[in-house]
Amino acid sequence: MCRIFGYLGYDFVDAKRLKAVSDLQFKGGPDQQSVLSERNWAIGNNRLSIVGLDGGEQPYIGGEHIRIVFNGEIYNHHALRKKLELKGYSFADTCDGSILPALYAEYGTEFVRYLDGMFAIAIIDLRETVTLTLVTDPSGMKSLYYYWDELKQSLYFSSELPSLLAFERIPKQLWLSGVDFYLTTKVVFGERTMFDGVYALPPASLLHARLGDRPRLQRWSTYVTSDIPTTNFEETAVHLRKQLGEEVNSLLLADVPVSTVNSGGLDSSLITALASSSTEGIHSFNLSYVGDWPLDEKAYAREVAQCFGTTHHEVLMDPRNFQQLLPSVVAHLGQPNADPITLSSYALFEAIHQAGFKVTISGDGADEMFGGYDRFAEAVHTLGDWVKPYIGSLGVADAQQRWELYSDDYRSFVQENGSIEDHIEHSLRQSNRGRLDTILSFEREYRLPSYHLRRVDHLSMAHSVEVRVPYCQPRILDLANRLPDSWRVEGGRVKKLLYRTSESLLPASILTRKKQPFTLPIDAMMRKGLPLFAAIEQALDRETIRRQNVFDPTAIDKLLQRQASAPNGKTALTLWSLAIFQLWLDQFQVSISSSKQYQFEG
């Protein structure tokens, strides 16, 4: 696992500036920093040593022409290495990334189709005109951001947004349409970010840039697929357990200890069970809060730990310290994410690091793969129009409340350019697939990478912890794409196949309990007189909001008064989201422009 960065173009970025870019993602790779720079280009990495501890020095060199930096893990590197050795290639070490130059030399950009893992890769090819190629994995588990400067004919990239901004070539300017996007979906997703002109490379993408030419984006498909048939429900459930076991086994391979995250829900409990069945001495981690709060799942996590004999760590987080963590969380995410679980994730990964672990395995992505959210069932069983209610379930506030929160000028902007809700609605209605397939495809392509996987990636690497995600591996993704609707959602039941797969393995209490959201109970914690309410109130400074002219300060005052007198979850989440946005603007010194650009990259 590493962090990567670099540029290609007619700009000149000196060694001091490249060091600043690297330093801003040092915690994501504290074991080694390196950079290779020549005229018109540079690539660098920060390494977190996990596989092949004595080797793996980057950039990887392939003869006179190929230079590669790599972030992630390649789980089938042993098999690929053997194939390449038969073709005459040799390798200096056993690190997974060391196969990449030979694989690229043999197959060109098709090399990525052979990889089983999570990754973001940058390749400099010096043959003829120098080219830069950026690649992401099929689920978007590893983030990669980029900015194209038309004037300098230069492309800049990095694993993290703060690091990318350290090139000092990227304007810190708000993508104005992102405000409506953020409140509609809790995060800007797709290719856009909240910084105008800064893009995130989507899952299964390849960005190709030749010196002097505009970069072009293309999508790729993997050769790593599942051979599990989907004709018989019971047989598929048996095969799925075996496949998940194999995925977990692959993810347990490392030259450092590996742990699991165990929230107490089905998804992480199954991963903990499979890991414990494969390897002795597994440590599991659960996070809860000091005091008596709703949605506390630690009793379930404790039961799973006892059942499978893990060394269990109960991480207690004190709500009185939340406001102290907010600036760090906002800084590491790089752009607003309205899910309060970001605080919990940050604290959990810090505890995993302090316990001596560089790697943990999580249950993220199972809901998107197997149909696990209540909003899926509601959309499937809704009579009549399902699109608007489904979009409404994604957001911070409904359309009416968003409209009330916006300033007069921002309302005019949205009227002129169209709302993001309209754009998403158009995209969903254009689909010729079934209702559930349309929703799951949309969530896997857009929401999962942006809302979940980037959060996990950035907040774990803030503590030098790599999170491996078995449910997002390409074979599981391939199988999930082929499942009949009734195996996912039926009669109000969600994740039907995964529940069947887990039977006879997990305790009955895990299989029969009602699904809970893995989130922070901010409606209970954001009460008048508690520290979190005071922190939110301070962040939502009336004069600052008036001056920015995006939101109506009077409308926000009313929300604060409502939460103080009659607290509820929706009001609390709206206030939280607005405060996170304000903290981000302030922390990154973002300017608010009058840009009219509005495009949903769907």
In-domain check, residue 517: no
**Which pLDDT belongs to residue 290?**
82
Cα 574 to Cα 592: distance, rounded to the nearest angstrom:
21
In-domain check, residue 50: yes
Residue 417 in this model has a pLDDT that exceeds 70: yes
Mapping DSSP to helix (H, G, I), strand (E, B) and coil, where does residue 119 land? strand
35 forms bridges with which residues in the sheet?
A: 44
Residue 598 in this model has a pLDDT that exceeds 60: no
Shared domain for 132 and 276, answered yes or no, is no
Shared domain for 497 and 538, answered yes or no, is no
For tokens 């689920």, what's the residue? 139
Query: What's the rounded mean pLDDT across residues 103-132?
Result: 96
**Which pLDDT belongs to residue 300?**
92
Shared domain for 295 and 176, answered yes or no, is no
Shared domain for 247 and 102, answered yes or no, is no
In-domain check, residue 438: no
Q: Which residues constitute the domain of residue 6?
A: 2-219
Query: What's the rounded mean pLDDT across residues 249-261?
Result: 92
Shared domain for 164 and 275, answered yes or no, is no
Shared domain for 351 and 461, answered yes or no, is yes
Cα 144 to Cα 159: distance, rounded to the nearest angstrom:
5
In-domain check, residue 475: yes
Residues 445 and 472: beta-carbon distance below 8 Å: no
Q: Final residue of a domain: which of 219, 253, 269? A: 219
Band the pLDDT of 521: cuts 50, 70, 90.
confident
**Which pLDDT belongs to residue 524?**
80
Least confident range from 14-28, 71-85, 285-299, 544-558: namely 285-299
Residue 518 in this model has a pLDDT that exceeds 60: no
**Which pLDDT belongs to residue 414?**
94
Least confident range from 88-97, 257-266, 362-371, 551-560: namely 88-97
Residue 48 in this model has a pLDDT that exceeds 80: no
Tens digit of each residue's pLDDT (9 = 90 or more) over 126-178: 998 999 999 999 999 999 999 999 999 999 999 999 999 999 989 999 999 99
Query: What's the rounded mean pLDDT across residues 46-59?
Result: 72
Query: What's the rounded mean pLDDT across residues 222-246?
Result: 96
Residues 505 and 272: beta-carbon distance below 8 Å: no
Domain of 349, CATH number, reads 3.40.50.620
Higher-scoring residue by pLDDT: 53, 365:
365
Shared domain for 323 and 280, answered yes or no, is yes
Active site residues: 2
Tally the C-alpha atoms within 13 A of residue 32's C-alpha that lie toward its C-beta: 19
Q: Per the annotation, does 96 bind a ligand?
A: yes
Q: CA distances (Å), 263 to each of 280, 295, 471, 536, 588, in order?
A: 20, 11, 15, 27, 32
Phi-psi region of 317 (alpha: psi -120 to 50; beta: other; left: phi over 0): beta
Shared domain for 183 and 260, answered yes or no, is no
pTM to 2 decimals? 0.94
Shared domain for 28 and 128, answered yes or no, is yes
Cα 329 to Cα 3: distance, rounded to the nearest angstrom:
18
Domain of 148, CATH number, reads 3.60.20.10
Shared domain for 579 and 472, answered yes or no, is no
Tens digit of each residue's pLDDT (9 = 90 or more) over 440-494: 999 999 999 999 999 999 999 999 999 999 999 999 999 999 999 999 999 888 9
Residue 292 in this model has a pLDDT that exceeds 50: yes
Provide DSSP, 264-309.
Answer: SSHHHHHHHHHHHHHSTT-EEEEEEESS--TT--HHHHHHHHHHHT
Tally the C-alpha atoms within 13 A of residue 351's C-alpha that lie toward its C-beta: 21
Q: Which two tokens stand for residue 422?
A: 């309209």
**Which pLDDT belongs to residue 597?**
41
Q: Per the annotation, does 362 bind a ligand?
A: yes
Cis peptide before 294 (omega within 30 of 0): no
Residue 519 in this model has a pLDDT that exceeds 70: no
In-domain check, residue 425: no
Residues 370 and 476: beta-carbon distance below 8 Å: no
Number of domains into which the chain is organized: 3
Q: Final residue of a domain: which of 219, 250, 274? A: 219
In-domain check, residue 405: no
Residues 20 and 2: beta-carbon distance below 8 Å: no
Q: Final residue of a domain: which of 186, 219, 252? A: 219
In-domain check, residue 171: yes
Shared domain for 204 and 237, answered yes or no, is no
Band the pLDDT of 31: cuts 50, 70, 90.
low
In-domain check, residue 600: no
Cα 283 to Cα 306: distance, rounded to the nearest angstrom:
12
Cα 524 to Cα 572: distance, rounded to the nearest angstrom:
9
Band the pLDDT of 76: cuts 50, 70, 90.
very high
**Which pLDDT belongs to residue 217?**
96
Shared domain for 181 and 242, answered yes or no, is no
Average pLDDT, the chain: 92
Least confident range from 191-200, 283-292, 371-380, 548-557: namely 283-292
**Which pLDDT belongs to residue 529?**
85
**Which pLDDT belongs to residue 601?**
38
Query: What's the rounded mean pLDDT across residues 329-344?
Result: 94
